[in-house]
Structure 1
Amino acid sequence: MKYTPHAYQRYAAQFILDHPAAAIFLDCGLGKTVITLTAIRELLHDSFAVRRVLIIAPLRVARDTWPSEIRKWDHLSDLTYAVAVGNTAKRLAALRQKAEITIINRENVDWLVKNNTFDFDMIIIDELSAFKSHRTRRFKALMKVRPMVSRIVGLTGTPSSNGLMDLWAEFRLLDMGKRLGRFLTHYRERYFLPDKRNAQMVFTYKPRPGAEEKIYEAIGDITISMKSGDYLELPKCLTNVVRVEMNERERRIYERLKKDMAAEIAGKEIDAMNAAALSGKLLQMAAGAVYDGEGQAVRLHDRKLDALEDLVESANGRPVLIAYWFRHDLERIRKRFPGARELRQEADIADWNAGKISIGLIHPASAGHGLNLQDGGSMLIWFSLTWSLELNQQTNARLWRQGQKHTVTIHYLVMKDSIDESVMAALSRKDKVQEALMAAVKAELGKE
């Protein structure tokens, strides 16, 4: 297929060419993959600035999206590539090809660095936000080889999904600490103040007055952001909160667990060992079931299932995509809707987009990146919620993206007076911080 780039795509590709370290914050649907590949081709074949490129991406994106984009566009046909995913033998076979571009999933970055000769001089990190923690093995492995590469690009649409603290590790990789400092403690001391704490233990930090603007200024020279609404004609996206309510018995059990971190349902003991476990248990209860100490799901109510059935019925036969979080959510939804089908394999996705699936089921963690589902439907229902703004936005963008022909409707099933409401409030707060960042480093390019 012939590639005719929009002005914003030419701008972004040139930005990569002009900056040895670049942070490209692009909304879903703007074509970040073909933009990056276009720049890579010029660096490989025209300017000879690099020899071998390593692309790091989520598994499905590494396996399917990047290779399909290379095959899709005519101007990329002379690029050689290998996909290093799967078992060890398959990964080694891919590395032995010595292709110009090697694509690997982020879970294998540690393996790649520890067990192989690292001979890449350019790195592309697709979903830079996956490297926001400096404690992960993937971050530490990449830091070991970062001085060996002359060029690096970080791609994401959600750079600060949990707040500005995320940015330190991401930019530590990109510029080796030049802009936000080499040490997290220094970054924290310079830009943040303790927020929630218990004596000497600090749980959260808040930005110092004026810190946000200083951070944006510090990273602005190597960073651009583009919002899809500024460059694409997208259909409307309507958000609807559907509130459901527990009865008195269900509420008593929920409140008992919340207060005592232990409760009993149908003779089964449910307990939470700490605050994090309690959060998970309360989210499960809000959805209708909860795992006991033996890992068995114990039913509390069907309030969300009933509301889900009403929404599916109101769709009048139009396809519905349902996002679930817990395994027992999936099992209970399947029991209520025997024809529902989980979108896991390429065949499932192809059937969804072909209109052969009326009720599709996705887990945000496995389907949140790189899937194009806009051809199959325009209604998404969140059965259970996630604290992650990144997964929330990326999952919504599976339907609300370029190529969608209908108004997208996103329903959130929210249990009244429960942790669900706290999750929705937290997502809203995080979104405001991220929107401020995206606006601060917005590309200076008018609409085409």
Structure 2
Amino acid sequence: MANPEDRKYYIDFSSVRGSDIIRELSRTITLLSHDEPTCQLFSGHIGCGKSTELFRLKDLLEHQGYHVVYFESSQNLDMADVDISDVLLMIARQVSESLEADQIRLKPGYFSNLFTEISELMQTPIQLSAEAELSVGIARITAKTKDSPKLRSQLRQYLEPRTSNILDAINDEILGRANTALQSKGKKGIVVIVDNLDRIDNSPKPWGRTQPEYLFVDRGEQLKRLNCHVVFTIPLTLMFSNDYDRLSSRFGVKPKVLPMVPVCLRDGTENPSGMLKLQQMVLARAFPDLPPEDRFQLISTLFDSPETLDRLCLISGGHIRRLLMLMYSCLQQEDPPFTRACLDQVIQEYRDDLLGAISQEEWELLLRVVKTQKVTGEDECQTLLRSMFVFEYRDQDGRWFGINPALTESNQYKLLVNSLNV
């Protein structure tokens, strides 16, 4: 969002999503706890627009005088196999790299000795000179271990008993010195935004705990010890875990969840405000340089009728990435204006992909959600939400869940609804 070009494409959905979560995250940092480090958790469906909103948070905080380090953890980690030491080294690397780019040099200190020991363990030269960049040493380690589970395991066994010392070194040698240097430049402090950690696999560790439970619940106390403001994205499954209360207690905050853009109200009728926002997003992508009020006059250059645009928005269920993917699929088939027939074919292909993954037991779960508008427990979340069969929404009465609109048009759904008289 710092790039003026990006702002032209941005649509603020907060008025229809039930709350302005980014404003809440920002206020926690700038007003409620600006003198003390904060650690906040942010979740939502993959593809619902979290990264876009986090860029907005970065923009807001930078305008208020903070040095913000944003990065995608999936670029640094093997998401199928993540441990606390991986996350800490990743943060140390990204922060030091960002500071070095801002001409703030950090002396390796503890890390210089650590790298010497690790280089002997891994038989890889990682020693740093006093003038070398700290981020370079960490980059060498992560590059060596990312694609080698065996080396990664050896490194973790070595680092695990040193976790507390590593945290102290990050706080003292990196964050502490950086805060002093940044304040001398007129900055208010450091904010670290760790995106894509919500993508870590839900696979179990050898002792039975899932990766998300282990990382954020069992080791959450250590993640919270970082001496700066931090925002972590976390898997949606944790919001439905039996450990949810422990998670909130560990971090001292309630995780924020970014819901879908509501295309319908609870009673099933169309939500005109949500639909309008999605239409604005589609038109902003096509005509970014035009004033918003002028874009609607050009719908006919994109779609054969306004109703085709309505259908695109409605069938997406308010899932931003899915809507854009449906548009891209249309573009693969024909040039704009997109016809209703083209869109219907694309929707059918999307529906077929969804239907192929749904078992009879899952249909029964889906019908229960249709009746109750609730999802309960981690298993249901994993089955229904992570598979994109069900979407989460918010309104003045709280959260509710609705079935993916693409499924409601299927014969299987209609037959089951009729047979059970839902």
TM-score > 0.5, shorter chain as reference = no
Flag the structure with higher helix content.
2
Flag the structure with higher strand content.
1
Give the TM-score normalised by the residue count of structure 1: 0.30
Structure having greater relative contact order (Cα 8 Å, sep ≥ 6): 2
Give the TM-score normalised by the residue count of structure 2: 0.31
